[in-house]
A and B are shown apart, each in its own frame.
Chain A
Amino acid sequence: MRRLPGGTANLRNSGLRCRAAVLMVLFFTLFIVNGPLTTVQGAGIEAVNRVAPASPEPGAEFVVTLQLGGELPLVVGITENLPAGFKFLSTSCEHFEVSGQRLLLAVINETEVRYTVKAPSSGAGTFSGTWADMLSEREGSIAPTAVNVGGTATGPVSPASSGTAAAPSAAPEVPGFEAVFTTLSLLVVTLLAVVALKGGRDT
């Protein structure tokens, strides 16, 4: 087994060993439960750009436009994070959900989606978001868009001229690999538990 920094002997009587084991268990379990985010590069949507006014009037309603760069058919999941104080009002997207400041969109065969937001009476913030192409397994980020209510624009971040899509991971998807990791992790967990308990008895 790989030694922890500082030497195993130093840990044996300090209780740290048990904590290290628990931390490792936590790490492995989170890995198992959530699963590694793997994507495969493929054809499909290239980027999503956001267009929004840089300095909306205080309390005014304004439209945020999401432009999907790709050809039909398109099926894309988008998560938009609205800055605090900005209130979602409506969207042209037929399929959506709102949770706090998070707007979730299921865009099916549309190349543009709009949503309306009400600005606070003052303040500034940044719209951010991510997209996941459901047909090509490509994923990316939507470049942040800073808005400054009633003031001067804080930055030329809208629209995102650089294309904004985060490079998709090149890690190939390996179906069934999760089960291998799970089994290995469970073995490690069991081993750690035994070691931890044995170490506890030694104290």
Chain B
Amino acid sequence: MSKRASCVIIVLLLALAMPAVVMPSAAAGLPGDEDGNNRLTETELARSILSALKSGPQLDLADARNAAHIYVYWHGAPRSIVDTTGRPVTIYRPVKRIVVLSSDGARAIQILGAEDKVVGITDTVQKFPFYFPTISQQSVVGTWREVNWEAVVALDPDLLIAPPAGTINADLAAGKLEGFNITVVGLYLYVTDDYDRIFEELEELALLLEKEEAAARYIAWDDDYEAQVHDFVAGREKPDVFLTYTSGAIGKTSDISSYGPGSTLYLLCEKAGGRPITEHATSSYPKVNAEWVLAENPDTMVMLCGNVFGWWDIESEPADLLQQLMAGKSWGTLNATVNNQIFAVPWSVTNGFEHTYGIVLLAKILHPELDIDPAEVSKEFLEEFLRVDYPEGEKKVLAYSGLATFKT
């Protein structure tokens, strides 16, 4: 074979291979939808299959299979939602590869049982392999404030889940990924001032991922516990509660951070049968001083602190935090102090879908006679919805107040 002939063959073969490089992995529109009316008919499906079969022994059936799936399970139509940013989001093929840019999104995916589809995450998810045993192993594409968009594209996802607002948000992602055939959906997947929205978001994500049953199962579980708590606290006297968090309260006698109407912890406290003493605050995160707290004389104090996820391994950690909280403040006569009702609670009680457990835990703190064990709720959430092992009997500290400490 001459050198020239060899060169010609190489060039020809390279030309043949190029479409595999430059063609997008999936074109817009339903596969097999020949007339482009977003309605896949039986005839169109059949033609798609026959066309694939004609390709010979090395079948490329991916699009025909997608068409079959859509015809049978999607009734021949694309799936659409309006995400929390207000943008219509439509998918034309089953989602197989997901990049998720928040831990709340990762938790939602895990609840839905779609973790096998995740190919890209942010570093927060990577840091918690206990909570996200599968998802945490995937490629890290950035942090909550910085994303490597080239890395996202390289992972070839067909869906990217981003928060609707914040430094990294869905609109930003949609702009960065324009032209790459990656569907962007903006969902918080955590509790906002519009409380029911978190459940709507879960249902919308479930629709895109074809996991409606899993979403319904979680929502039913949450409904059951919320109803139990609601019925129990209804008509009971609501204790006055001061809500704060570590860095906003420790070492301070003024400008102590609290939670006002519209914040997640405030909302959960109300659902748990408490009356936050900041009820007249004009912001979601008001600042108060130690004297004002003394004057309000709350019956219970709750400080969010410690780990973002889970619990403390030993009691001394939350005990130290409570000591630091009290240092420099003349709160010794507070009802909360006298009654040993100052609790250190991990941040995780407000985390996304884990808030069901948070409501029960707060209700138990505020109304100790409630006949629900928060540890059992935490166990159910972890085992049944996140499918991770609960540290049964390991005496992890779920909430600390000295005398009334909750453990696993």
A residues at B contact (CB < 8 Å):
15, 18-19, 21-22, 25-26, 29, 32-35, 37, 73, 75, 77-79, 94-97, 99, 104, 106, 108, 132, 134-135, 137, 139, 175-176, 178-179, 182-183, 185-186, 189, 192-193, 196-197, 200
Contact = CB atoms under 8 A, between A and B. Distances in A.
Interface string B44-77: 0111011011100011110011011101100000
Q: Considering residues B1, B6, B21, B54, which has the most beta carbons from chain A within 10 angstroms of its beta carbon?
A: B6
Given A176-B156, A196-B10, A97 B50 contact: yes
Majority SS at the chain B contact face: helix
A197 B58 contact: no
Given A73-B72, A175-B156, A179-B21, A106 B50 contact: yes
A95 B43 contact: yes
B25 interface: yes
Contact of A96 (B9, B50, B64, B65): B50
Nearest to A39: B61
Contacts of B58: 34-35, 37
B3 A18 contact: yes
Contacts of B47: 95, 106
Interface of B: 1, 3, 6-7, 9-10, 13-14, 16-17, 20-21, 25, 42-43, 45-47, 49-50, 52-54, 58-61, 64-65, 67-69, 71-72, 96-97, 155-156
Contacts of A19: 1, 6
A76 to B, nearest CB: 8
Given A26-B9, A175-B25, A189-B13, 6 more contacts: A22-B10, A34-B60, A37-B59, A77-B50, A108-B46, A200-B3
B149 to A, nearest CB: 17
Nearest to A93: B46
B266 to A, nearest CB: 44
B113 to A, nearest CB: 15
Contacts of A179: 20-21, 25, 156
Contacts of B6: 18-19, 21-22, 196, 200
Nearest to A134: B68
B49 A135 contact: no
A29 B17 contact: yes
Contact of A176 (B9, B49, B72, B155): B155
A77 B52 CA distance: 9
A58 B289 CA distance: 103
Given A15-B1, A25-B13, A29-B13, A97 B54 contact: yes
Contact of A29 (B7, B16, B71): B16
Given A176-B156, A200-B3, A33 B49 contact: no
